[in-house]
Amino acid sequence: MRFMTMVKVTKECEDGQPPHPELSAAIGKLAEESFRTGVMVEMGGLLPTALGARVQVAGGKVTVVDGPFTEFKELIGGYAILNVKSKAEAIEHTKRFMQLHLDVLGPSYVGECEIRQLFEPGN
């Protein structure tokens, strides 16, 4: 089973502040382990929405809205594709990832990571 995890960003991430070096190192170590064991298929971070766009359909028309976008609680800052045996296993891996944030950034850190199973024909 494959799952996508999506990390929601904070305003600080959207403002283009560089990632915390210790957090980046911890995530790199976890990613290396996850790739080696075959759990992680792909991962990546997203640049600020100021560099992006949204393509919308409404009223019979397709429109393009350039970033930045202001709804920070709904913005995705990064993702990972996991290849695991169950949703429970995807949750455990995601908990480890989020715990790194708490360990490095401290108890005042607030964050969220959404987990969604990928559609695979025949399953």
Strands (E), the chain: 2-8, 40-45, 53-58, 61-66, 76-83, 113-117
**More confidently predicted of 119 and 50:** 119
The amino acid occupying position 88 is A
User: Where residue 122 falls among pLDDT bands split at 50, 70, 90?
Assistant: confident
Q: Is residue 123 scored above 70 in pLDDT? A: no
Amino acid sitting at position 102: L
Architecture of the domain delimited by 2-117: 2-Layer Sandwich (3.30)
Structure token digits, residue 3: 């799952």
3-class state of residue 100 by DSSP: helix
3-class DSSP state of 78: strand
Using DSSP bridges, classify how beta strands 53-58 and 76-83 pair: parallel, antiparallel or unpaired. unpaired
pLDDT at 12 over 70: no
Q: How confident is the model at residue 68 (pLDDT cuts 50, 70, 90)?
A: confident
Instruction: Please enumerate in sequence order all residues whose Cβ is within 8 A of that of 91, keeping only pairs 6 or more positions apart, or say none.
Output: 115
Q: Give the pLDDT confidence of 32-67 residue by residue, as tens digits.
A: 999 999 999 999 988 888 899 999 999 999 999 998
What is the reported pLDDT for 13?
67
- Token digits for 51? 């560099």
Q: What is the pLDDT, as a whole number, of residue 19?
A: 77
70-108 pLDDT, tens digit per residue, is 766 678 889 999 999 999 999 999 999 999 999 998 998
CA dist 115 and 91 (Å) reads 7
d(CA 63, CA 89): 40
